[in-house]
Amino acid sequence: MSMLGDDGLPQPAAGAETGAVAVGAMRFGDHLALAFDGDEERYAVLAAYVRDGLESNHKIIYLADQEDADAVLTRLGTAFAATGIDVDVRAAARDGLLAPRPVIEAFMASGRFDPDATVDLLGTEIDLALVQGFKGVRITGETSFSLRGWPGTERFREFEHKCQGAFQAPGTRAMAICQYDRRWFGDDQLRLLLACHDGLVRVDDLHDDGVLRIAPTFTPPGLALSGAVDESTLPALRDALAVAARRDGHLCLDLSGLAFCDTEGLRAMLDTRHAGDGMDRQLVLRAVPGYLALMLRIAGWDRLPGVFVEEAAA
């Protein structure tokens, strides 16, 4: 829980950005922030959010920065197609399941951004969707418009705080993801804005059976492994590595959470340096635990061409 400052708005708590909710685990009442560094990560989360909403008969309201509705659908369709997640945004829009709303029309119709009026508008949209028979509502909004200096947008953090209160109301059947591009927001500014949310949202895990968890990473591209790689979890690791290896460029494997890994698991990781096109990629093994670093040195695999080992801090 964030503490309130002298202005009555939440202040960042220590460790506020550690941990995040997988998008597939979101529930009604969640008001989460997607703080992303690139569009691949952004659309991987949003495509899953929209797909899950369509499968659950939720109305999806997409608040886009300064675009008309058709342009929003074109952009989303192109971006979602690249994620491998099957979402037909134009069909969803035709059926009234997905509603693109340019923020300049939705929030700036009066010529000024008003936090109270905007929260009321979203509440009306939610109530209308429920009356129409939807089981719930999913809202996601791009936030870069708040940096444009439009009248009233200096109160944007106040708006986020009011949204937090609205989504926490008993019996709410709505959830929200607020999109923050880290490349545009200053660090201090972003921390204050993120404090107005329940937490962060992240992409779904590729695998989690309670023994081994595999999560995709985007900056740098690769995988984060935690738990144990043994005979039982090796097939899942190989499947995830095969998917990760399909992309061009180098690959980073974050091993900081790997409590155990056998020789076959390590061999499977090292095999991903072969890109399959005659050119080997660079493979970065990051935050390698001490026991695993020792295995690499004994086998001489730490000296393989294209393999870079970054040992975990002692």
Over the stretch 203-262, which tens digit does the pLDDT of each residue have? Answer: 999 999 999 999 999 988 999 999 999 999 999 999 999 988 888 889 999 999 999 999
Domain ranges across the chain: 3-202, 207-311
> Which of 65, 89, 86, 68 has its CA nearest to residue 77?
89
Local confidence band at 16 (pLDDT 50, 70, 90 cut-offs): very low
Q: Check residue 10 and give its pLDDT.
A: 63
Write the class of the CATH domain 207-311: alpha beta
Local confidence band at 15 (pLDDT 50, 70, 90 cut-offs): very low
What CATH topology corresponds to 3-202?
Answer: Rossmann fold (3.40.50)
Local confidence band at 7 (pLDDT 50, 70, 90 cut-offs): low
Contact present, 268 and 234 (Cβ < 8 Å): yes
Local confidence band at 106 (pLDDT 50, 70, 90 cut-offs): confident
Q: Minimum mean pLDDT among 1-15, 89-103, 170-184: which range?
A: 1-15
What mean pLDDT is predicted for residues 58-75?
A: 92
In the predicted model, is pLDDT for residue 197 greater than 60? yes
Q: Check residue 105 and give its pLDDT.
A: 86
Q: Which residues contact 54 (CB under 8 A, 6 or more apart)?
A: 60, 87, 92, 97, 98
Q: Check residue 198 and give its pLDDT.
A: 94
Matching CATH topology for 3-202 and 207-311? no
Q: Check residue 264 and give its pLDDT.
A: 97
Pull the structure tokens for residue 278.
Answer: 């005659």
In the predicted model, is pLDDT for residue 314 greater than 80? no
Contact present, 287 and 255 (Cβ < 8 Å): yes
The angle, 0 to 180 degrees and rounded to 10, between the axes of the packed helices 263-271 and 290-299 is: 70
Pull the structure tokens for residue 122.
Answer: 């979203």
Q: Check residue 1 and give its pLDDT.
A: 46
Highest mean pLDDT among 3-12, 224-233, 247-256, 304-313: 224-233
In the predicted model, is pLDDT for residue 136 greater than 80? yes
Torsion of Cα atoms, 76 then 78 then 81 then 82, to 10°: -110
Q: Minimum mean pLDDT among 40-44, 104-108, 275-279: which range?
A: 275-279
Return the SS3 of 122: helix
| Backbone angles phi and psi of 35, in degrees to 5 | -100, 105
- pTM comes to 0.87
Torsion of Cα atoms, 160 then 162 then 164 then 166, to 10°: -140
Local confidence band at 276 (pLDDT 50, 70, 90 cut-offs): low
In the predicted model, is pLDDT for residue 98 greater than 70? yes
Bridge partners of residue 199, in order along the sequence: 32
Q: Check residue 294 and give its pLDDT.
A: 96
